[in-house]
Structure 1
Amino acid sequence: MFLIGCLSVAPHSLAFEDFGRYRLTEVVVEGAEVIRSWPSEEERFLQSNAADPEIASRIKSEPASNFPQVTAHFQQVLTARINNELGSLIAPVFTGKQPVRAVVRLKVFDIPSVARRVFVDNDAKIQADIDILDKATGRLILRYNGRLETKKLIGGLATGIALAFEGSDLGYSMITDYLSAYRNWLLRN
């Protein structure tokens, strides 16, 4: 079960009525270079690109951050996914006219590979900070210092069986859960 991040993040000081002044018009995502592993997206990268054979042979045993082309792919995927998710989750909260930008700074993102799950690490992890900035002035309106969220995965010898039942992309579900926790934090005051 995914732990809800808003439970231990300090509450914000913005009044709920103030949300009605702002409208989310842009989402910027930073930090794809911190991604150590995201097996499903690594596989998509290898399938959709004429990847260098050396990358294809090394990516299974090295951190994805060692490969700039993979990091660029992660950046595109993260930007699209977070833009879509954050927009749909908080657009109903920010209903006003003053344009704001959300800056999502990824600090930790790691979905362990099969080998790591078997031998070393079976925790999926995500952590991000989210700033809401006035688009015209860059003034900070709201800051979310996100906490590290982990999801314990079945590891060891049972990894192969667990993978057969996991189905969906764990990275995507971790992003959705994290951004949902952010929305809950916004609405909690």
Structure 2
Amino acid sequence: MSTSEIIGIVLTVVFGIPSVIGLLQSLPSRLTLLMDERLNLYSNVSKNIQGLDITFKGNKINKDFYLIKASFFYQGRKDVLKEQINQPLSLELPEGSIIHDFNILSKEQNLDITVEVRGNQLLFDFDLLKNSDYIYFQIFAEIGDFIEDKLVARHRIANVNKKIKTIRYIDYEIMPKKLFGNC
């Protein structure tokens, strides 16, 4: 091996490794919305069985009622503290939607989170968000013409990518088992 080759290898190691480490550390944290299931209770269940009526709190279910299962998943090198939240994580359903019920189906064990229903919005409030934290939830809502593109997830959290990636169809083989159990 010649001297110039050795110098080339040393320079590559000296400048290359810190560059890669710096790049990895500079990648922004991100939130992802995973749309798991969307079920129209009228179209998928009661319409096809003559004589079957589904009611919710005494009101008959019609074609506008949906059961939506989804989750938010956080990926980031740094924890998110409450002080970094200017606007909480929210999920907004289309204008005119009515959220009748909301349930947390599962969440990261140590994640302390509360969810407030405000009109057609869900507001997610937490004190601390760590890498791989998630919340899996279901919404029972009267939506009308349901279009997934009209679900809007937003936040203003320091050092977290503003754009929330939405994944519409979930491949259970690649998702963490803790999110959905044994599907």
TM-score under structure 1 length normalisation = 0.26
Name the structure with the higher helix share. 1
Tell which structure's C-alpha radius of gyration is larger: 2
TM-score under structure 2 length normalisation = 0.27
Tell which has more relative contact order, 1 or 2 (C-alpha 8 A, sep 6+): 1
Name the structure with the higher strand share. 2
